[in-house]
Amino acid sequence: MNKYTHSFHERANGLADSFILEHYSLSELNFETVSHYREQFARAKPGHPWNSLETKEFLYKIGAWGKLRDSSKEGLTLAGLVMFSEERIITEVLPQYFLEYREYDGAKAAGWAKRFTSQDGTWSGNAYDFYFRVLAELERHVWLEEGRALLAEALANAIVHADYGEEGGITVEKEDGAFRFANPGRFRLPIEAAMAGQMSNLRNPNIFKMFLLIDVCKRAGSGLKRMHDWQERALVQPVDILQQMNPDRTIVTLCPLLFPAEAGATIETEINESLQQQEQAWIEHGADQHDVDFGSNEANYVNKELNSVIIEQNSVNNSTNSLNREASSVKNEVDSVNIPACSVNKGKNSVNKTPNSVNNAISVDEREEEERNEAIDERLWEMAELARRKKRLAPAVMEEMIVRLCCERPLRLKELATLLERTPDGLRTNYLGKLVDEGKIRLKYPDQPNHPRQAYIGVKER
């Protein structure tokens, strides 16, 4: 154990990451990382006076650079080294330092669909870049905004609370629908106290401060409490926290709701049986429309009809009540959803293939525009797949799905009803009004609520 590692462990009051490395200068830093951090800081705090500081003074302010008061000596702090240097230099001081991300795939011989470590030489290997690189991978898999926030919180907690002098390193694993965050060291508070939001006894206060300044972390002690508060909205299962000894290690496992393609398998294995039991119970007890998720048992519900799209091949175009035959149907509107694959557009008698279709007499530019619209519509159809497969979704999931659909392009009520396979009245009453009031979606014609071409537009977060 070298002198820096020894001092790291012996430092009192948990302030190890403020230890000053006298012989480690600014030249030990990865300046692409520092530049990225300063950009994030300026974005989070555009008018802050620190934005105009020189690099060394800026790093001093955030805790990455230290000065010894009783001498003229100065240098990087351990926090600055871990956050902004490079793996080879970090391990000179902290030989046990190691970061790893991996996704498991049982179909592959190696077992990993994706893997990178701080040692592979393709990136800096520091903790700051690890956070953003892993976060980009995690967000690809998660549907609900709260789910992504939970994963980001767990990732930041692992980096902030890690004991970098202990063996094992930080590992983040994705396997099926579970995400595991493991770091060396155990909590310094009882789990119950941390879950209640009590002030955390931070192992690395300067690393925490650096994340806090760019809005990655919130106030100390709030991370686990937010995980607990959000779990019902964002998770399939409760947060699981395991603390091991010899060596000390903390493992946090989250199972968030994934994107529809992955959610299918996960939800089937985790909650489908429960949903089926609930649905059967509602049917047996004659639950009303509101209780059975806004219309999934209605007599004219698309998938319940004998002549529905799903059951009968030619049903949509031949049925009196079909989508394509109604004067006010989705398919007869200019902004209609061109439902892809296995849908009404693919049938022999569909609107876009009939001899009298307007599509047979359009210009090249109009055809290109139509193709672009169809590409958007296919994406919408895929995005809404989970709602069509699950008759009863958590309200938060349905709300998030509606907002995301409406962010793709303005959608009319009947279009949303078709995409989600819900009744228009149920959507309007239980979701759309609430989302408009909350500012998550807006009306295309706000001054004319009953406009014949009224549509809903998603409000993207800034």
Write the DSSP assignment of 103-152 as a string of letters.
EE-TTSSSSEEEEEETTSSSS---HHHHHHHHHHHHHTTB-SHHHHHHHH
> Which residue from 297, 171, 160 is spatially nearest to 217, judged by alpha carbons?
160
- Rounded (5°) CA angle 217-220-226: 70
Which residues sit opposite 174 in a β-bridge? 103, 179
**Residues of the chain by 3-state class (helix, strand, coil), percent to 5:** 45, 10, 40
Which residues sit opposite 184 in a β-bridge? 249
Which pLDDT tens digits describe the chain residue by residue (462 residues)?
555 555 454 443 445 899 999 899 999 999 999 999 999 999 999 999 999 999 999 999 999 999 988 788 899 999 999 999 999 999 999 999 999 999 987 666 667 789 999 999 999 999 999 999 999 999 888 877 777 888 998 999 999 999 999 999 999 999 887 899 999 998 766 666 665 555 566 889 999 999 999 998 765 545 566 665 655 555 667 788 898 988 899 999 988 766 655 554 544 444 444 444 444 554 454 444 333 343 333 333 334 333 333 333 333 444 444 444 344 444 444 445 554 443 434 343 333 434 444 444 455 566 666 666 676 788 888 888 888 877 777 787 788 889 989 998 999 999 999 999 999 988 988 899 999 999 999 999 999 988 989 999 999 765
pLDDT at 294: 36
Rg (CA), the chain: 27
Preceding omega of 247 cis (within 30 degrees of 0):
yes
Distances (CA, A) of 249 to 37, 118, 165, 244: 28, 19, 12, 5
Q: Cβ distance 289 to 301 under 8 Å? A: no
Q: Cβ distance 86 to 126 under 8 Å? A: yes
Q: Please report, as a single letter, which amino acid is at residue 249.
A: R
Give one DSSP letter per residue of 354-423, joined into a string: STT-GGGG--HHHHHHHHHHHHHHHHHHHHTHHHHH-SS--HHHHHHHHHHHHHHS-B-HHHHHHHHT--
Which H or E element spans position 229? Answer: helix 223-234
- Alpha carbons 89 and 85: distance in angstroms, whole number: 7
Tokens describing residue 448: 């004319």
Q: Are strands 170-175 and 99-104 parallel, antiparallel or unpaired?
A: parallel
Tokens describing residue 128: 């700051």
Q: Cβ distance 256 to 151 under 8 Å? A: yes
Residue 125 falls in which region: left (phi positive, over 0), alpha (psi -120 to 50) or beta: left
**What DSSP designation does 47 have?**
T
pLDDT at 81: 97
- Alpha carbons 320 and 332: distance in angstroms, whole number: 15
- Alpha carbons 432 and 74: distance in angstroms, whole number: 58
Residue 220 falls in which region: left (phi positive, over 0), alpha (psi -120 to 50) or beta: beta
Tokens describing residue 314: 């030619």
- Alpha carbons 313 and 297: distance in angstroms, whole number: 22
**What DSSP designation does 207 have?**
H
Q: Cβ distance 153 to 223 under 8 Å? A: yes
Q: Cβ distance 405 to 458 under 8 Å? A: yes
Q: Please report, as a single letter, which amino acid is at residue 445.
A: Y
Residue 429 falls in which region: left (phi positive, over 0), alpha (psi -120 to 50) or beta: alpha
Exposure string (b/e) for 329-356, b if CB count within 10 Å is 16 or more? bbbeeeebbbbbeebbbebeebbbeeee
- Alpha carbons 345 and 343: distance in angstroms, whole number: 5
Tokens describing residue 365: 């530019």
- Alpha carbons 423 and 426: distance in angstroms, whole number: 5
pLDDT at 358: 40
Q: Cβ distance 9 to 163 under 8 Å? A: no
Q: Are strands 112-117 and 178-184 parallel, antiparallel or unpaired?
A: unpaired
